[in-house]
Structure 1
Amino acid sequence: MIEAVIWDFGGVFTTSPFEAFARYERERGIPVGVIRTINSTNHENNAWAMFERSAIDFAGFDAAFAAEARMLGYDIPGRDVVALLAGDLRPEMIEALRRIKARFKTGCITNNMPADASGATASSRSIYSREIMELFDALIESSKIGIRKPDPRIYLMMCEKLGVTPDACVYLDDLGGNLKPARAMGMTTIKVESGPQAIAELEAATGMKLL
């Protein structure tokens, strides 16, 4: 019996930043995929991971990411990557959340940036839209607790906040690596590749009509 639906934010309620990464790379003659490669190398302790845990500040991330890029032979300041994170909102996903909230508990687990990065990107205006955030019963931000997905502890923290067991939850994320631990602990997982696809799978999991 499903009691709660837990959501990632970026790449779920907004379009994936991977598209912006690829555009940036093409415009600068950098092979497409380099930014994603940097982000996934030493993924627990690289610049990106430390930034999302607030282990370094914006200036530290800017320098650390640039150093990681230079090791691969590219000039990519971290501040440029942060500026690419703002995606377009997916209205259909926001409407699905509204409908889900009428019947289920709702939570959001987001790997995000410390507050001092908000001035560097317009994403703070869309990602933390009050209209959307008010629809969640609980919110966990990696930058505030010093733990980030896919650390299993962050999913258990959300279950505790919502007062549910993992097997009573549906979890949506656009990254397979973040879904794996949630699935291992018993959650029903949905990899978000598009709004319509995710909503169709969420309808099947919850028995609700969301569009």
Structure 2
Amino acid sequence: MVKGVLIDWGGVLTTSLSHAISRWIAADRIEAGHYYTVMRELIEHAYKTDDGESIVHALERGELDGPSFERDLAARLRTVDGEPPVPDGLLDRMFAGFERVDAMYDMLRDVRGHGLRTCLLSNSWSNTYPRDGWDEVFDAVVISGEVGMRKPEPRIFHHALDRIGLPGEECVFIDDIEANIVAARALGISGIHHRDPDTTITELESVLSLTLRRA
């Protein structure tokens, strides 16, 4: 029986990362094709290979501060004018397009109302989280840069499970990055690969045998 839900933040409890990035690219006049080439290499290194450490690993664990990462990333990118973007505040601008998805928060309230425990499990990029109302939806909060661990490392999943006092076999994990789902399943945690709210809520209803509220 599932007794706990672990859930990601960006792209799951918010609108998609691709939506936020598209808005930022337009606002900062970033050369899009070059940006996606750079980021594909960084993300694949961080999540899909075992080729050692990268600046993304360090950023997500809090070993590298935001301004340092911004300077590094800005030097790799260019605007449509051929100049690097302004590094100061780059991450805030990148993620400014994230919007809260109320249906997912309503779902979490229902999950807790049915007696299940919930834990936010998020990889941070030195970003500020909008924490208003979190006491209503989370029993625990685990943010990578605050605990010095990152998904898909097994130790951060064990830490999150300890925070809610449940074994992996009694939990389900929701994330929009497949590598994180694969890592969770290897620890006995059920996984739901998030693509959109309706599909995720439907899958969670099936796992929990519950009807959950939608906005």
Q: TM-score, normalised by structure 2?
A: 0.82
Aligned to 1:48: 56
Paired positions, count:
199
Superposed CA RMSD in Å reads: 2.3
- The separation in 1 between residues aligned to 2:83 and 2:180, in whole angstroms, is 28
User: 1:4 is aligned with what amino acid?
Assistant: G
Are 2:107 and 1:107 equivalent residues in the alignment? no
User: 2:71 is aligned with what amino acid?
Assistant: A
Aligned to 1:204: 206
User: 1:84 is aligned with what amino acid?
Assistant: M
- Confirm or deny: 8 A CA contact 1:65 1:76 kept in the other structure: no
SS at match of 1:193: coil
Are 2:77 and 1:64 equivalent residues in the alignment? no
Are 2:130 and 1:128 equivalent residues in the alignment? yes
In 2 relative to 1, CA 68–14 (structure 1 residues): closer, same or farther, beyond 3 Å? same
Are 2:48 and 1:37 equivalent residues in the alignment? no
Structure 1 segments of 4+ aligned residues over 6 angstroms from their partners:
none
* Shift in Å, 1:192: 0.9
Question: Structure 1, residues 109-151: CA drift from partner, whole Å, max 9, x if none?
Answer: 111144xx5xxxxxx3xx3332135421111111111111110
Aligned to 2:6: 6
Question: Structure 1, residues 72-119: CA drift from partner, whole Å, max 9, x if none?
Answer: x983555434422141111110000000011201111111144xx5xx
In 2 relative to 1, CA 205–95 (structure 1 residues): closer, same or farther, beyond 3 Å? same
- Confirm or deny: 8 A CA contact 1:51 1:113 kept in the other structure: yes
Are 2:83 and 1:80 equivalent residues in the alignment? no
Question: Structure 1, residues 3-46: CA drift from partner, whole Å, max 9, x if none?
Answer: 10111111111012222223444653321733531431431633
Aligned to 1:93: 104
In 2 relative to 1, CA 198–29 (structure 1 residues): closer, same or farther, beyond 3 Å? same
* Shift in Å, 1:157: 1.0
- Confirm or deny: 8 A CA contact 1:39 1:48 kept in the other structure: yes
